Amino acid sequence: PRFLLPINLANTSNLIGLFGILSIGQAFVIITGGIELSVGSLVALLGTLFIDFIAVRELDWPLAFAMIILLGAIIGFVHGWLITRLKLQPFV
């Protein structure tokens, strides 16, 4: 009976949206024939750094967010380059 309360449906929708967006990135890797499991650990690392930038280092959240996006892009680029150019296995 309490599952259908509006607040619970809103929270469930937020979680579905979050994991849906994350799974789209993983789906591209699987569709292209690779198996890449480091995405989850990268999301956890960047999320932890985001909170650290805001809470400990007291940066403004837009600046911290921009830094996290840039850091994620750099790590993703380096990881992709290592896989495609140096022929490393994508299964990490």
Reported as a single tens digit per residue, the pLDDT across 13-60 is 888 887 888 788 778 878 877 777 788 888 899 999 999 999 999 999
pLDDT at 67: 98
Least confident of 3-7, 19-23, 75-79: 19-23
User: Residue 91: pLDDT band by 50, 70, 90 thresholds?
Assistant: low
pLDDT for residue 92: 56
Delimit the domains of the chain by residue range.
1-33, 36-92
From CA 2, how far away is CA 27, in angstroms rounded?
33
